[in-house]
Structure 1
Amino acid sequence: MLKVNNIDVYYGNIHALKDVSLEVNEGEIVTLIGANGAGKSTLLKTLSGLLKPKSGHILYQTQQIVGKPAQTIVKSGISHVPEGRRVFSNMSVEENLELGAFLRKDRENIKKDLDYVYELFPILDERRKQLSGTLSGGEQQMLAMGRALMARPKLLLMDEPSMGLAPLIVKKIFEIIQTVNKEGTTVLLVEQNANMALSIADRAYVLETGKIVLSGSAKELQESDKVKEAYLGGA
């Protein structure tokens, strides 16, 4: 579904991603783990058209998407749940969700998808008229996911969904990621909580200082001494 070939991304003179290649097959959950500042968020921003690589190719369903505007990429079926939630805090929960469907014209299906999001996240249904800035961190994360799902993505990019959340909420968020995946959405998950990410993923990549240094099945990476030592709290 997604094939990233040898991309290089710079912030000014800083070489943030170095010759990165990876792929995501339809129906998979693929996770990208790595320390803070490794380039994980940069990669997702590049995939969603917010950053442009200096070299390399990004093929989504065999179409080259480098250089396409972000809204075209969303329309083609890629949604991004950004790090830090980024909800529109002075708008209600329902207005945030409706914005997720901004590029769609199929009113009837938008209504169905709104009902589906409320079914996935009952707390959002209860809070639908509430300003999203007044929600807890966990509720805002659910809203950010719901908003991305309103675009009917085929591929969901998720950036640090567990960040700053209590363990019980993290467990709930990860269960929902699995549910969404089982119902047909492919997921590329960036996550510092390597244990959780590897427990639900099919395959994984490790990014260090802008380079992919390891890849394999999630199980292989969970059992790798290098990964245990660096990301899973000791061998």
Structure 2
Amino acid sequence: MLKIDNINVYYGSIHALKGVSLEVNEGEIVTLIGANGAGKSTLLKTLSGLLKPKEGSITYLNSSIAGKPAQDIVKAGISHVPEGRRVFADMSVEENIELGAFLRKDRAGIQQDIKKVYGIFPRLQERRKQSAGTLSGGEQQMLAMGRAIMAKPKLLLLDEPSMGLAPLMVKTIFEVIKEINKEGTTVLLVEQNANMALSIANRAYVIETGSVILSGTAEELQASEEIKNAYLGGH
């Protein structure tokens, strides 16, 4: 579904991604593991059109999307839930959700999908008239994911969905990621909590200082001593 081949991305003079190649097959959950500053968020921003690669190719459903405008990439079926959630604080929960569908014209379908989002996240329905800024961190993460679902993505890019959340909320968010995937959305997940990420992923890539240093099935990486010591708290 997605094939990244040898991309190089710079922030000014900083070489943030160095010849990164990876692929995501339809229906998979693929996770990117790595320390802060390894280049994981940069990769997602490049995929969603917020950054342009200097070299290399990005192919999505057999078309090149490298350097395309972000709105064209959303139209093509890729939604990005950025790190830090980025909800519109002064707008209501429901207005935030509706914004996710801004490129769609199918009114009946939009209403149906709002119901679907409330089915997945009942707490958002309870708070639908509240302004988004009054929600807890976990609720804002739900809202950011709900908004992304409204674009009907074929591929969902999730950047650090568990960051700063209480353990119980982390569990909920990961259950939802599995649910969204089961319903047919492919997921590329960047996650600091490597244990959690590997527990739901099919495959994983490890990124260090802008390069992919290891890849394999989630089981292989969970069993690797090197990964255990570096990212899984050594147990």
Q: TM-score surpassing 0.5?
A: yes
1:162 corresponds to 2:162: yes
Q: Which amino acid aligns with 1:58?
A: I
Name the residue aligned to 2:230.
230
1:85-164 to structure 2, matched below 5 A, reads 85-164=85-164
Name the residue aligned to 1:57.
57
Distance 1:67 1:175 in 2: 33
Distance 1:124 1:116 in 2: 11
Name the residue aligned to 1:202.
202
Over residues 190-215 of structure 1, what are the superposed CA-to-partner deviations in whole Å (9 max), with x where a residue is unaligned?
Answer: 00100000000000000000000000
Q: Segments of 4+ in structure 1 off by > 4 A?
A: none
| SS at structure 2 position matched to 1:49 | coil
Deviation at 1:68, TM superposition (A): 1.0
Distance 1:54 1:232 in 2: 33
Distance 1:72 1:97 in 2: 20
| SS at structure 2 position matched to 1:87 | coil
Q: Which amino acid aligns with 1:205?
A: Y
1:24 corresponds to 2:27: no
| SS at structure 2 position matched to 1:71 | helix
1:11 corresponds to 2:7: no
Deviation at 1:112, TM superposition (A): 0.3
Distance 1:196 1:85 in 2: 19
Name the residue aligned to 2:76.
76
The answer for unaligned runs of 5 or more in structure 1 is none
The answer for unaligned runs of 5 or more in structure 2 is none
Query: How many positions carry a matched residue from both structures?
Result: 235
Q: Give the TM-score of the pair, scaled to structure 2.
A: 0.99
Q: Give the TM-score of the pair, scaled to structure 1.
A: 0.99
Distance 2:234 2:93 in 1: 41
Deviation at 1:67, TM superposition (A): 1.9
Deviation at 1:234, TM superposition (A): 1.0
